[in-house]
Amino acid sequence: VFETDPCPECGVPKHISNEHLWLNSGVIAQSRDLQHRLIFIESENLDPLFEGIGTVIGRPIEKIVIDTARRATRLYTDRLISNEVRGLIRAKALSMEVISDSLKASGRMLGYANYLEFNYRYEGDQDDYFKDRVESPYSLPLLCGNNLGSNNAIDGGRWDVRYEKILPEVYDITTFRSKSPPEPEGGLIMKQYFHKDGDIELKKCSSCGCPAALSEFKWYLDKGMIESARTGRRMAFIGPQMLDAIFEELTSKFGETVPRLLVEEQRRFVKSGNYSIDEVGDEENMRNQFALRGLGDLRDIEVKSKGIRYHLDNAVLHPLLVGLAQGLYEKAFHVDSVVEWELSEKGELIVEVTAKVDSKA
Ligand SMILES: [Zn+2]
């Protein structure tokens, strides 16, 4: 059972402040398991990002996205559900509605979707299915993967998924028992993040203890959406390990062009004004913005008209952070640029954006 009540002071649902910690290292972690990181980011560009990469590569990557999200969700949900609960569900002593309601209440607070209707059959045979009618999913393939992974964690069996568009923004997502023979699960590249202590002190809400800056985001629990009041952009809490695993999977299948493509897609998205970190140049503010989003610890940043160079500890999703720097720079200085980066095994990211010499200012 999750506490959905908003904090009277900052408006953040209590579940968010109870279950998550903003560490001094620019990391958001689950308070029950500090190894499990989350990030709080704009979600509207995720599906265009996947589509854009598919277009450049020349084939859709939806299957890879769904399957990687499934495997990552399975690992995550496995830890949430005890064997005892699993047994109760299989013995039907605990109804699927109860489990589903509770997972969905959490999904609404994380900004995933509006869950409209739930139908299912769960008898332990080939005709079993779970059908969710959802409105405005934060990402359609990621939500499909999330549903599959939850089934895997609860039931252990093999499931497939299909979705159908019912109305603009309304989808039926159905998971059903797989008829194809089991495949080896294969190794999922789940990044282990190294944690390096920092000294970031975000101002806290005096009532609930979460960062006070979260009060500029509005939780619409009835719609399963979080919005930045300042920019109107939709936000979501996402496991970066899931996205990093997708990026790694794509890179191993399609080669080293993938990180570059991700950087480029993100640069375009940020430059088009769809991102809400916008005060380039105020180092303290940028450092806090990164930490609020759980993107890492911005150690130093140099902003000049000729370029930006920064060093970030505890980095996640580095292609997106590289594209972010490039997009912010180009937007602030109205120039084209080139970007180089270096990522150490311990998550230290160095990004260098330089103005193109021939560009018109
Ligand atoms: Zn509060």
Mind giving me the DSSP string for 321-341?
Answer: HHHHHHHHHHHHHT--EEEEE
Please, is 31 exposed, middle or buried when counting C-beta atoms within 10 Å of its C-beta (0-12, 13-18, 19+)?
exposed
The pTM of the full predicted model, rounded to 2 decimals, is: 0.90
Query: How many angstroms separate the CA atoms of 131 and 121, rounded?
Result: 9
CA 9 to ligand 1 centroid distance, Å:
5
Of 34, 42, 18, 29, nearest to 274 (Cα)?
A: 42
Average pLDDT, the chain: 89
CA 212 to ligand 1 centroid distance, Å:
7
CA 195 to ligand 1 centroid distance, Å:
26
**C-beta of residue 187 within 8 angstroms of C-beta of residue 199:** no
According to DSSP, the β-strands at 234-238 and 307-313 are: unpaired
Query: How many angstroms separate the CA atoms of 70 and 61, rounded?
Result: 14
Q: Provide the pLDDT for residue 172.
A: 98
Please tell me whether residue 303 adopts helix, strand or coil conformation: strand
Q: Provide the pLDDT for residue 189.
A: 60
- Looking at residue 241, its amino acid is Q
Of 323, 336, 326, 313, nearest to 260 (Cα)?
A: 323
CA 70 to ligand 1 centroid distance, Å:
33
Q: Give 361's pLDDT tier (boundaries 50, 70, 90).
A: very low
**pLDDT of 212-223, one tens digit each?**
999 999 999 999
Q: Provide the pLDDT for residue 184.
A: 60
CA 204 to ligand 1 centroid distance, Å:
8
**C-beta of residue 26 within 8 angstroms of C-beta of residue 297:** yes
Is the pLDDT at 242 greater than 90? The verdict is no
Q: Give 182's pLDDT tier (boundaries 50, 70, 90).
A: low
CA distances from 154 to 73, 177, 203, 293 (A): 11, 13, 39, 30
CA 216 to ligand 1 centroid distance, Å:
11
CA 279 to ligand 1 centroid distance, Å:
25
CA 206 to ligand 1 centroid distance, Å:
7
47-51, 58-62, 187-191, 352-356: segment of lowest average pLDDT: 187-191
CA 106 to ligand 1 centroid distance, Å:
18
- Order of strands across the sheet with 170-177? 114-121, 129-135, 170-177, 159-167
CA 8 to ligand 1 centroid distance, Å:
7
CA 143 to ligand 1 centroid distance, Å:
28
Share of the chain above pLDDT 90, in %: 57
Terminal alpha carbon distance of the chain:
55
**C-beta of residue 309 within 8 angstroms of C-beta of residue 352:** yes
Please tell me whether residue 220 adopts helix, strand or coil conformation: strand
CA 20 to ligand 1 centroid distance, Å:
13
Q: Provide the pLDDT for residue 70.
A: 92
CA 193 to ligand 1 centroid distance, Å:
28
CA 85 to ligand 1 centroid distance, Å:
32
Can you read off the two tokens belonging to residue 72? Answer: 């990552």
Of 260, 293, 264, nearest to 276 (Cα)?
A: 293
